[in-house]
Every structure is written in structure tokens, then in C-alpha cells.
Amino acid sequence: MKHFIAAAAFSAVLAGPAFAEEIITAPFDGSFDDATFAVESAIVGQGLVIDYVSHVGEMLNRTGADVGSDKQIFAAADIFIFCSAKISREVMEADPMNIGFCPYGIFVAEDDSGVMVGYRSYPDGPMQKVQTLLSEIVEEAVGN
């Protein structure tokens, strides 16, 4: 029982920071394709390289029946995965465990309410440099 309590306490500590994260979104006035182009352009415009585009919407739509669901979550959804050598070095020099936040992602999704662009928030401290970068990219992409 003692080991169970210790394991539960350790799990709670690990899970704690995850609850502090939130998803920050901005509406996009246009089509999903226009939004993905705008996000890609804004990322590349910062001198960054997109490592991968995850087509989450396609996967969810393709596999819904396989997992016993007929609900469409998104009409389309992509996540752009990238990193910044400069900012990543800064935040990991401050705390090497910030590696757990890398790479960074910005998503574009379309649901019944329209097209949105977003990203997850990051903890206070050095990771706010990453959040600022993501915020600037999203603002540029949505035209604010």
C-alpha cells in the first residue's frame, strides 16, 4: 500500500503541469486551405523549417468507423510541427528538461464553428519565449 501511495503522489506531480496548459485559438476568416497556407507561410517567414505536418483530421475521419464512432470531429485538421534552434537552445540552457516541450506545434482545424488556428500554452519562465513565438506566428497567419 505504501508503494501505491508513493506512486500515486508521483503521478500527481507529473500530471500537475499538464493541467496548467490550455489551448489558445484564433478564428480564421477564410477556408481551411487558406489557413494552412497562411500558417505555413508565417512559420517559414520566421526563418523556421517545418519538420512535419500531421494530418490529424484525415486520420480521425478515416478511422472513426474502425473504433466504433460515426461522429465527425473536424472537417479538416492539420498540425504543423517545427522547432527554433535559437529559442530551443535558450530555453534548454535555462532548463534541459524543457526538451519535453520540443518540437512546437501550431494547428489549423475546421469544425462546425469555422476555421481556427491555435497552439498550446507553455509554463511561466523561459518557455514563454516559445509561446511568444507561436503567438506571433498565429497573429500573422490570421491577419491580426
- Confidence band, pLDDT 50/70/90 cuts, at residue 50: very high
User: Distance from CA of residue 128 to its chain's centroid?
Assistant: 14
H or E element, residue 36: helix 32-45
**pLDDT at 69 (0 to 100):** 92
- Work out the percent of the chain whose per-residue pLDDT is above 70: 85
User: What's residue 47's pLDDT?
Assistant: 95
Q: What is the mean pLDDT of residues 115-123?
A: 97
Phi-psi domain of 66 (left: phi exceeds 0; alpha: psi -120 through 50; beta: other): alpha
pLDDT greater than 90 at residue 60: yes
Residue 20 pLDDT > 80: no
